[in-house]
Structures are given as structure tokens and as C-alpha cells.
Amino acid sequence: MELRYGTNPHQAARAAPVRPGRWPLRVVHGEPSYVNVLDALSAWQLVQQAARALDKPAAASFKHVSPAGAAVAGPVDDVVTSRSGVGPVAGAYLRARDADPKSSYGDFAAVSHPVDEELAEVLSGVVSDGIIAPGYEPGTLERLSRKKNGRFLILEADTAFVPPEREEREVFGLRLTQDRDWTPISAALLKNTGLPGAAVEDLVLGLVAVRFTQSNSVCYVRGGTTLGIGAGQQSRVDCTRLAGAKTATWWLRRHPVVRALTFRPEVRRQDRITWRIRFAEGDLMPGENRRLAESLAEPAGELTAEDRASWLAALDGVAFVSDGALPFRDNVDHARRHGVRYVAEPGGSVRSPEVEAACREHGITLVHTGLRLFHH
């Protein structure tokens, strides 16, 4: 299959199945690029594994070969959408996209269940490049194929596809081969039986999410949705802090003052999202303050540093997952600032006793999974 282009538009690219005739997906509409295919394959594996582990519809919003957000079906609040009675598949995607809506602009979507009319309507109203799903209900393909002036990419995953036992990659004239990671992710990895059921679900979702996130990676999860994902940082604590900042923004977007922002009718949906995020972050530059005021139908309320601190202190019950062993206690110290009560990590670091002591000090339940989940 000839691809639209490679990693960059000046690179030609193509895709071929490892086993002749055995494709993991088929192109229903559009022309995929190299990165589209990478996003689709990782995103499909993530939602398929999450749905199997948690027995709920799952969704992911991918950007640059890592999830911006992932979620399973659950409650959808009015920060996510003004719709009422949202169904499980559309709800899972809305929750996944809401984790980091700034990063999800122009995302590649994935859902574990067939696309229904409601999800097709949701996708029609957001900026997204494509979707992979196991099927499409009548009428949804026609609607989605009109998106982006007919350039919206629609892929269908083969639910029965089983990949080869080994995987290969060619880099600079060298072929690398390794065993595929078949280790199942489930509640069995969380050996501490004292964990609440909701925490187990969140940690399992986090483990699946980091498995398909560029390493180093960490993930904050609460209520079946990721709040902040940190990807591809050379320093794990930088990853923890980055994902923590996203988590803080997710929570601040639910502050009454942020919710009360009222925009002029001509302000576009994504611009409204961006302004709410910037207002919540609280470090608007002078030019931004002016442009925000021009975008509002009425003046914004006051959200002081004290207001922010008080609101952030109320966030609790958050789960935190790391794809590799936490090397220092600073990761725990930063995670606790964002309401973390449960941590899952492989363990085995020479500093693990310090990490364990930090968790006890902060009242955090620590689980050593013994499973490293690096993704490169």
C-alpha cells in the first residue's frame, strides 16, 4: 500500500503486511500517511487492551505516536460537553479528548467498539484527522467521509488479527528483532488486595496507556480517564512534572470561575477551549489578556493564586502509573501535589526504599508490578 508520505512530506513511504495478505487494518476512506498508520496501530492496541481488561468501551486520542488522552466509558460532565445522555462509545472518546484538549487538536481517534451515529456526530464537530474502529454502523461512514472536505481518514481494525511472535525494525541499515510483548495487563498485576475497586480500574487503565506512550512516560488517572500523560522525556521527574501540570489544568478547568467564562458567538470552539486552558493556567501575557477580553461576551471573574491553590488542594484519589521504576522520591513528592493516592511502578530501583518511604510519608499506596513497559 502506497502511503500519502512518510514521517515528513518529502519522504516517500509504503506499508506491507509482514505475512502476505494478513493486514491488521483496512483503509475504508482516505489516504493514510506513515504517522497515521503508526498512530492507528498503537491507538487500536491501547483501546482493545483497555476494553478487554476493564470490560468497558475504551477510547484514545493520539498525537505524534503517543496518547494525548485515554478513557473508558463513564460520566461526562458539562466541561466535556453540553450534550445530555451521552452514550458509552461517544462518552469514552469525549472523556479521552478532554484529558488534554489542546494537544488533541488534530488528533487520531480510536475506539474499541463500532462507531455509532452519536460518535460520528461528535467527530464531525471537532478537529480530528482520522479514526480507527472495529466497525461502523449504517450511515456513519457517509457522514465521516465528508469531513475535512473528504480527507478524513477512516480505518477499520481486524479484531481477529494476531500479530507475529516477533517484531522487527530497520534503522540505518540495521535490522533489530525482538519478541513481542505478550504480557497481559489486568488487575492481577496489582497484588495489593486492599486497593479500592476504582483505584484498580484507574491503575489498569494507566498501565495500558503508558504501554503505548513514548518513554519515559507517566500517567495520572482518575475516574476511568487520564488527567495528564507525560511522554518522551529523558528525565522521569520532568515527565512527572509535565503530566502533573496537565492534571492541574484539567482540574482547574472545572473551577466555577473558569466554567463561567462566556464567549462571543463568533469565537470558535477550539479557541474557547484554548482560552479556558490559558485562563486556568493563570500566566496570561499582556497581549493574551487583551485578546481574551475581546473574545468574552462579559468580563471574566477573578481567579487568584490563592483560589487556584485552594481548588487544587481539593483534588484527591488520583492514581499514578510509571512505565519504568521510579529512580528517586522526587517523583512521589511531585505526584502527591496533584492528589495522588495510588502509585503503580515496576519497582527494583536501587532507590526503591526511598520511594517506598516517600509513599508512606504521603499516605500513598504503592504497588510494585514487576513489569517495565518501555515503548520506543
Q: What is the pLDDT of residues 324-366, one digit of tens each?
A: 999 999 999 999 999 999 999 999 989 899 999 999 999 999 9
Whether 268 and 245 map to the same domain: the answer is no
* Residue 213 · residue 324 · CB < 8 Å: no
The answer to whether residue 216 is catalytic is yes
Active site residue: 29, 63, 113, 368, which one? 63
Whether 154 and 282 map to the same domain: the answer is no
Active site residue: 113, 216, 255, 368, which one? 216
* Residue 101 · residue 273 · CB < 8 Å: yes
**CATH number (domain holding residue 194):** 3.40.140.20
pLDDT at position 364, please?
Answer: 96
The answer to whether residue 338 is catalytic is no
Whether 154 and 265 map to the same domain: the answer is no
Average pLDDT for 94-110: 96
Query: Per-residue pLDDT tens for 265-312?
Result: 999 999 999 999 999 999 999 999 999 999 999 999 999 999 999 999
For the entire predicted model, the pTM comes to 0.95
Whether 265 and 242 map to the same domain: the answer is no
- Whole-number percent of the chain with pLDDT over 70: 100
pLDDT at position 191, please?
Answer: 77
Report the candidate in 141, 156, 107 with the shortest Cα–Cα distance to residue 273.
107
Average pLDDT for 146-171: 95
Distance CA 192, CA 196 (A): 10
Query: Per-residue pLDDT tens for 59-74?
Result: 999 999 999 999 999 9
Distance CA 43, CA 132 (A): 8
Flag whether 90 is in a domain. yes
Total number of domains in the chain: 3
Whether 53 and 101 map to the same domain: the answer is yes
The answer to whether residue 334 is catalytic is no
Task: Tell whether the torsion through CA atoms of 98, 104, 105 and 110 is positive or negative.
Answer: negative
Kind plus residue range of the DSSP H or E element containing 138: none
Q: Helix or strand or coil: residue 71?
A: strand
Residue 112 in grid coordinates: 474499541
Active site residue: 64, 102, 148, 362, which one? 64
pLDDT of residue 193 exceeding 80, the answer is no
Residue with cell 498508520: 37
pLDDT at position 83, please?
Answer: 83
Flag whether 18 is in a domain. no
Distance CA 169, CA 163 (A): 15
Flag whether 174 is in a domain. no
Domain extent for 269: 260-302
Whether 150 and 190 map to the same domain: the answer is no
Confidence of residue 85 (pLDDT cuts 50, 70, 90): confident
pLDDT of residue 223 exceeding 80, the answer is yes
Whether 246 and 274 map to the same domain: the answer is no
pLDDT at position 26, please?
Answer: 96
